[in-house]
Amino acid sequence: MSKSLPLAGVRVVEFVHVVMGPTCGLILADLGAEVIKVEPLDGDHTRKLVASGAGFFPTYNRNKKSFAVDLKSPQGREAVLKLIASADVITENFRPGAMDKLGFGYAALKQVKSDLIYCSLKGFLPGPYDHRTGLDEVVQMMGGLAYMTGGRYGPLRAGASVNDVMGGMFGAIAILAALHQRQGTRKGQHVQSALFENNAFLMAQHMMEGLMTGKPVTPMPDRVRAWAIYDNFKTSDGEPVFVGVVTDTQWKIFCAAFGLADLLDDPALATNPQRVEARPRILPIVTAIFSKMSKQALMDKCESLGLPFAPIAKPEDLFEDPHLNASGGLTPVTLLNGEKTKVPVLPIEMDGARFGTRLDVPRIGEHTREVLAGLGYDAATIRQLIADKVMAVTD
């Protein structure tokens, strides 16, 4: 954005790793906050994750500054406390009690800065479970999401870190609310977001579904669809396409376009509940029609009719998605191995603009000198701190 970003002037210091905490900081950073990532001398361990964790660090750490410091050394602690005194927000997502042991818990830091907003991103909010180590997969299993996803296949975690990402989002929402409230009260506060409670929030619709229907909730793979046509269909070239027909108007359009006047005129199919009951009759007819069409022909026709449809994409397909590329939905970043690529940006637009990369994914200690200088350390002292391995830099 060419004008001032919404959170310009807000300084955030984060003590985070993996996904939940970094997501919270990413949102604030993309919106314009100065986010300083405090890392150990050898860097956030997330940088070293492999396999399904290999994408975490480059995804959630753009637009941040890396400050690499030994938190256990007196000089390192002194520098970090100076940094905290200059901050508006602290975020942390380490195991319960870890920040207190380091002397960086909320009770200690509010003595350093009374109007500090301190955000803890945890597995569980305060209660009987809050001593447990929380992971996305843990709360998906205990919170009903894995059951709803797997169904007859057995418990199955969702195909993305949904609780980690949404937990970070709710943390950012709480921070923004606290910053707004601080304008009137001049006081800081401790805010929290947690994986388990986030998962429960996701399950609320199914909890209410059971109450409203009076029946046990059916997992997604086993559910009765809410509409007669709401499925993946195989096309003539063997490629599946999802097609949905979800309103009475769409049903009329669909029947007229695909030569199904007999279905449209049948009074036994006049309402959506009737059509849902008649799925065993309707689906074989629709499946036969779609099986004679190519994937592209079916998608083109659905698009022209305004019917919901989707190709079945893989994550790697999104790099070349024409909509994401044309709409500013992808932003350039550099991976830890130096490779240039692009990653999805925040799924929001403000005043006609998206939020992209201002600072590339930081190298370990890339901004250590800059941060220290901003805190009033002179060049000679900075050199000595680096030489004494109190700080680390990457030039």
Q: How far apart are CA 83 and CA 25, in angstroms?
A: 16
Same domain, 82 and 182: yes
- Whether 366 contacts 392, CB under 8 Å: no
Give mean pLDDT, residues 70-79: 97
Judge whether 187 lies within some domain.
Answer: yes
What's the confidence (pLDDT) of residue 3? 57
Judge whether 321 lies within some domain.
Answer: no
The mean predicted confidence, pLDDT, of the chain is: 97
Give mean pLDDT, residues 214-240: 95
Give percent of the chain with pLDDT exceeding 70. Answer: 99
Q: Report the 10 Å Cβ neighbour count for 54.
A: 15
Q: Please report, as a single letter, which amino acid is at residue 137.
A: E
Helices 295-305 and 248-257, packing angle to 10 deg? 130
pLDDT band with cut points at 50, 70 and 90 for residue 224: confident
pLDDT band with cut points at 50, 70 and 90 for residue 303: very high
Dmax over CA atoms of the chain, in Å, equals 87
For β-strands 340-344 and 330-334, DSSP reports them as antiparallel
Give percent of the chain with pLDDT exceeding 90. Answer: 97
Judge whether 136 lies within some domain.
Answer: yes
Phi, psi for residue 161 in degrees, rounded to 5? -80, 65
Check residues 2 and 232 and name the one with the higher pLDDT: 232
Same domain, 134 and 184: yes
What's the confidence (pLDDT) of residue 395? 86
Same domain, 298 and 341: no
Boundaries of domain holding 372: 11-203+327-392
Judge whether 218 lies within some domain.
Answer: no
Judge whether 219 lies within some domain.
Answer: no
Judge whether 336 lies within some domain.
Answer: yes
pLDDT reading at 1 higher than 60: no
Give mean pLDDT, residues 378-389: 98
What's the confidence (pLDDT) of residue 195? 98
CB within 8 Å of 162: residues ≥ 6 apart: 136, 140, 145, 202
Give mean pLDDT, residues 161-174: 98
136: domain CATH number is 3.40.50.10540
Judge whether 264 lies within some domain.
Answer: yes
For β-strands 340-344 and 34-39, DSSP reports them as unpaired
263: domain CATH number is 3.30.1540.10
Same domain, 254 and 336: no
Same domain, 193 and 171: yes
Same domain, 180 and 244: no
Please tell me the total count of domains within the chain. 2
Judge whether 214 lies within some domain.
Answer: no
Name the domain boundary from 262, 283, 315: 315
pLDDT per residue as tens digits for the range 78-112: 999 999 999 999 999 999 999 999 999 999 999 99
Same domain, 104 and 44: yes
Same domain, 20 and 103: yes
Same domain, 72 and 103: yes
pLDDT reading at 2 higher than 90: no
Name the domain boundary from 315, 335, 355: 315
Name the domain boundary from 249, 284, 315: 315
pTM for the predicted model, two decimal places: 0.95
pLDDT per residue as tens digits for the range 249-282: 999 999 999 999 999 999 999 999 999 999 999 9
Same domain, 94 and 184: yes
Catalytic positions, written as ranges? 164
Same domain, 98 and 158: yes
C-alpha angle 195-56-350 in degrees, rounded to nearest 5: 80
Same domain, 91 and 138: yes
